[in-house]
């Protein structure tokens, strides 16, 4: 099964991956977590639904997203 | 587990100091990816611009040079002529390429120099604090056009792809964007063509990339992504302006 991994310390919480990019809509900006730079990183809500398309990785400026299979 | 997508080896492990939502990082990642995929990392010399991406020499995992403002195409010409075995790319923003470096880019294109230009167009001067750039849209607010760009005072924006397409020299001119995954994939293809043209000694290739600058536009990253779609693309239409490879077929 494909899996998305967010590198929380690298993420700047821009939210580009969270808005209409994920076809299965499993990425959100974390409401609770905060990284050492003070950003709310992106969070995966349900990794079981991931289809491994890599759109989130392609739009990520850092890139703070890795996709595994 | 096998990694499908991840940070390419063409980029160093240094954290990029761009604002959240900036398009520079996406283009850096694409170039870093291509350096590995085309197996040219060892022989590539990159030209870092003046602007937000002035620290590009720390981010790309290849040899880099940082010339004065706007002189990227001139320095690229020198390197390429002295060392034709090197792959040379010049990474420039709109203030760098379209304001201070207009003469250099026009003449490099007219000479059909065998170099690759990566041109990031975000319609504003980013690092210096959001001043009016030659590419700022009519009516668009910046810190030096607080009422919006008035075409009677500041003139019309420069459309660099259309400008260079008026010359016979350039081999490949294309405009893409990085605001959606689809556009990012098109940008990947365009940049690959631009580097392959240079490897095959075809001549001058430029990829103009419409990019987001949420901080200076005064928007959230998600709003700026939509603004590129709704406003910027109407003034700067995407597409190929010159592709000699297709014309020759």
Nearest to A68 among B3, B29, B178 (CB): B3
Q: Which domain holds residue B44?
A: 24-248
Beta-strand runs (E) in B48-115 = 63-65, 87-93
Residue B8 lies in a domain: no
Q: Any idea what the CATH number is for the domain that residue A56 is in?
A: 3.30.70.20
- Under 8 Å CB-to-CB from B131, ≥6 apart: which residues? B124, B125, B142, B143, B144
For residue range B158-193, list pLDDT tens digits in order: 999 999 999 999 999 999 999 999 999 999 999 999
pLDDT, tens digit (0-9, with 9 covering 90-100), for A4-35? 999 999 999 999 999 889 999 999 999 999 99
pLDDT of residue B247: 86
Mean pLDDT of B202-228: 95
Is residue B4 a part of any domain in this protein? no
Determine, yes or no, domain membership for B90: yes
Residue at B10 is within a domain: no
User: Is residue B59 very low, low, confident or very high in pLDDT (cuts 50, 70, 90)?
Assistant: very high
Chain B residue whose CA is closest to A41: B20
Domain coverage including residue A61: 1-69
Cα separation of B182 and B65, whole Å?
32
What does each C-alpha distance from B47 to B71, B72, B138, B150 come to in angstroms?
A: 9, 6, 31, 34
Predicted local confidence at residue B248, as pLDDT: 84
Are B175 and B191 in contact by the 8 Å Cβ rule? The answer is: no
- For residue B35, is pLDDT > 90? yes
Q: Could you give the number of structural domains in chain B?
A: 1
CATH (domain of B146):
3.40.50.970
Nearest CA-CA distance, residue B239 and chain A, Å: 20
Residue B169's pLDDT is 93
pLDDT over threshold 90, residue B249: no
Q: pLDDT tens for residues A32-65? A: 999 999 999 999 999 999 999 999 999 999 999 9
The reported pLDDT for the residue numbered A26 is: 94
Complex ipTM: 0.95
Residue A60 with chain B: CB contacts under 8 Å:
25-26, 29
The number of domains in chain A is 1
Tell me whether residue B13 is in a domain. no
Q: How far apart, in whole angstroms, are the C-alpha atoms of residue B59 and residue B177?
A: 21
B14 found inside a domain:
no
Rounded to a whole number of angstroms, the distance from the CA of B81 to the nearest CA of chain A is 33
Domain-embedded: residue B5: no
Whether B152 is covered by a domain: the verdict is yes
């Amino acid at each position: 099964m494909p899996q998305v991994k967010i590198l929380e310390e690298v993420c700047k919480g821009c939210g580009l991956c969270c808005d209409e990019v994920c076809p299965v809509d499993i990425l959100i900006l974390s409401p609770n977590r905060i990284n050492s730079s003070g950003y709310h990183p992106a969070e995966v809500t349900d990794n079981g639904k991931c289809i491994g398309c890599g759109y989130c990785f392609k739009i990520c400026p850092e890139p703070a997203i890795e996709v595994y299979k | 587990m096998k990694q499908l997508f991840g940070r390419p080896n063409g980029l160093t492990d240094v954290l990029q100091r761009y604002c959240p939502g900036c398009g520079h990082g996406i283009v850096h990642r694409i170039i870093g990816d291509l350096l590995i995929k085309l197996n040219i990392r060892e022989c590539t010399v990159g030209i870092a611009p003046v602007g937000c991406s002035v620290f590009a020499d720390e981010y790309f995992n290849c040899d880099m040079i940082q010339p004065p403002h706007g002189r990227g195409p001139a320095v690229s010409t020198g390197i390429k002529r002295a060392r034709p075995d090197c792959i040379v790319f010049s990474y420039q923003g709109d203030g760098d390429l379209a304001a201070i470096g207009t003469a250099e880019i026009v003449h490099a294109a007219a000479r059909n120099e065998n170099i690759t230009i990566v041109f990031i167009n975000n319609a504003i001067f980013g690092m210096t604090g959001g001043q009016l750039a030659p590419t700022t849209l009519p009516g668009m607010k910046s810190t030096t056009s607080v009422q919006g760009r008035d075409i009677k005072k500041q003139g019309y924006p420069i459309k660099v792809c259309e400008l260079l397409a008026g010359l016979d020299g350039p081999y490949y001119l294309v405009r893409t964007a990085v605001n959606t995954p689809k556009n990012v994939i098109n940008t990947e293809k365009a940049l690959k063509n631009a580097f392959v043209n240079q490897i095959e000694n075809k001549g001058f290739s430029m990829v103009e990339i419409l990019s987001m600058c949420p901080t200076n536009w005064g928007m959230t990253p998600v709003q700026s992504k939509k603004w590129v779609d709704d406003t910027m693309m109407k003034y700067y239409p995407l597409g190929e302006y010159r592709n000699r490879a297709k014309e020759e077929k």
